[in-house]
Amino acid sequence: MKGKVVFAVGVGLGYVLGTRAGRGQFEKIKGWANDVWQDPRVQGYVQDVESQATEFAKQQGSALKDKAVEAAKSAVAGNAPWRSSTTTPEADDPAPDVLAGEPIIDADDARYRTP
């Protein structure tokens, strides 16, 4: 069903953008959309939504920031929720743990480097 809808939308866009009659229809649709957007009632709704979004950001912004920082710290520490709990972070991640003091290049790696 989804494929049929996508196909129908594609055919419609092809007609509108690809034919002279379609371009005329596109200009009509564009003019109608512009008229609707400029309607004072629509602009009233837009301003209401903008003010609600601003108020939400003011109220919840610091909490969302704190959660994002906590998630980032958890991911850096190897406690990311997408990692399997049956394996250790060291087994999943062959990269050195710089925060734990592991060297980035150890003696074995150093001898294989070409200058």
Q: Are residues 3 and 21 in the same domain?
A: yes
- Domain of residue 44 covers 40-74
CB distance 36 to 30 below 8 Å: no
Q: How far apart are CA 107 and CA 115, in angstroms?
A: 15
The dihedral built from the CA positions of residue 95, 99, 101 and 104, taken in this order, carries a sign that is positive
**pLDDT of the residue at 98:** 52
Structural domain includes residue 14? yes
Structural domain includes residue 30? yes
**pLDDT of the residue at 44:** 93
Residues of the chain under the 70 pLDDT cut: 79-115
**pLDDT of the residue at 51:** 93
Q: How many domains does the chain have?
A: 2
One-letter amino acid at 60 equals Q
**pLDDT of the residue at 78:** 72
**pLDDT of the residue at 57:** 81
Q: Are residues 34 and 44 in the same domain?
A: no
Structural domain includes residue 97? no
Q: How far apart are CA 89 and CA 77, in angstroms?
A: 9
pTM of the entire structure? 0.38
